[in-house]
Amino acid sequence: MSELDLKSREDAFLSATAQTVTFAFQPIVNIHTGRCIGFEALLRNIDRLGYKTISSLFDHAWNKGLLNRLDIILRRMVIAQFSQTEACHGSKLFFNIDNRCLDSRDYQPHETSKLLEQYSLAPENFVMELSESNDFLAVRHLEESLQLCTEYGFKLAIDDFGTGDSSLTRLRSMPFTELKIDQEFVRGCTRSKEQQSIVNSSIELGHQLGMLIVAEGVQSPEEWDVLGAVGCDIAQGYLISPPLPPGDVPAWANSWKRLNAESIMSRAGQESH
């Protein structure tokens, strides 16, 4: 295959991805006040490209040497959508990054900085999520890459905490600001003492390292109450909202504000008796 044909195929893959995939935004709220603090951007429609999982899409891009180019395309799309959704203004955008991007020689966080400036988003409201399940500690230049990201003002979150094998010594030396407890442990915290013990330990560890704790996959009021009682800071899951198309976010925000206000008034009334 000629170099021209190869470039044509690469461009076609990236163009098809940009024209096909979309993002949904899942709200993330303060578990004690109910205030919405941000949204996680979740990739959709990859099946229309012929991929069964997001990982398989990223694996293909990695194998073709296109992962960073794909990542920048996705960042541009999601930052643009987020900035154009008025209900998201002033909140955090949680964006999942394939850990291998940080190990690429052409990884350039200044591209993200330029995009945030272009769309008038504060860098401290951009949170990069790295999944513990993908063994991010194996990335050769991880600490240098993460430090560079913080110099641009980005926040960093450990995603799916509890599913990997993180070294506590290395975690302590890294500038993570949020720790997201995997939904497997969250869903079991009301049924199993062992699961609740894992959640409690994760919260204690994260707080000791100066991180905010996010519980993923919260589905029931019982889970919400238990997590709040043991010191979790933030919640995400279907109890709050499923992932939403950008156009549905304003209606959810108005509904959530109303429900949250009614809940606060109800608790205040109960405490006054």
Spatial distance between the Cα atoms of 234 and 94, rounded to a whole number of angstroms: 13
pLDDT in the model for residue 273:
45
Amino acid occupying residue 194? E
Cβ(225)–Cβ(215) below 8 Å: no
Question: 158-161 long-range CB contacts below 8 Å, 24 or more apart?
Answer: 158/129, 158/130, 158/132, 158/211, 159/96, 159/129, 159/130, 159/131, 159/132, 159/133, 159/216, 160/131, 160/132, 160/133, 160/216, 161/132, 161/202, 161/206
What is the chain's Cα-based Rg?
Answer: 20
Mean pLDDT by 10 residues, the chain (273 residues): 70 94 96 94 96 93 91 95 92 92 73 94 95 63 81 91 62 86 86 86 92 94 92 95 96 89 56 46
pLDDT in the model for residue 266:
58
Task: Give me 10's structure tokens.
Answer: 């690469």
Q: Kindly report the pTM of this predicted structure.
A: 0.90
Task: Give me 95's structure tokens.
Answer: 């964006």
Backbone phi, psi, residue 258, to 5°: -65, -45
pLDDT in the model for residue 265:
46
Map residue 31 onto helix, strand or coil: coil
Amino acid occupying residue 226? V
Task: Give me 114's structure tokens.
Answer: 């330029």
List the one residue out of 97, 94, 93 whose CA is nearest residue 109: 97
Task: Give me 106's structure tokens.
Answer: 């052409």
- Alpha carbon 223 to chain centroid, angstroms: 20
pLDDT in the model for residue 146:
85
Contacts of 110 (CB under 8 A, 6+ apart): 152
